[in-house]
Amino acid sequence: MKRILAGAFAAALLAGACSDPVPDPTPTPVQPTLTETFQGTLSPLATNSHPFVVHQVGGIVVTLTNVTPDAKLSIAVGTPSTTTGLCIAINPVSTEPGPSPQLTGTITKLGPFCLAVSDTGIITGSTSYTVTVLHS
């Protein structure tokens, strides 16, 4: 009986040593605290890219605050292309300027990101804009 218990105990120790490791805990997103303001002039059918760096996993809030002359533009957050330098945008939103955020979310990776501001096919001449990005 002692041999059976000793064998079972040894098997349990070996099984525990071979089990999957406990995964690292997912970082808790922090509230965005860094504000970056981007201004530019957009030509018809063009896209401008504005780089920024995320230092902590956390929230992101993007607000198109001003467009002159007033027009609907497309804004999106993405990652900069290493070959073209353009912003590879994810889920663009077509929006008019205003005081309320048009894009919100959580960034789960650290490093370089970019903001893409594009004409939606509406503007007919040079159009100036201001966008604020609040991130961690």
Is 28 or 26 the better-scoring residue by pLDDT? 28
Local structure of 14: helix, strand or coil? helix
Residue 28 has pLDDT above 90, yes or no: no
What is d(CA 79, CA 56) in angstroms, rounded to the nearest whole number? Answer: 16
| pLDDT band at residue 29 using 50, 70 and 90 as cut-offs | confident
For range 76-86, the mean pLDDT: 91
CB contact set of 55 (below 8 Å; sequence gap of 6+): 34, 110, 136
For range 72-90, the mean pLDDT: 93
Name the class of domain 27-135. mainly beta
pLDDT at 95: 97
**Residue 92 has which token pair?**
């663009």
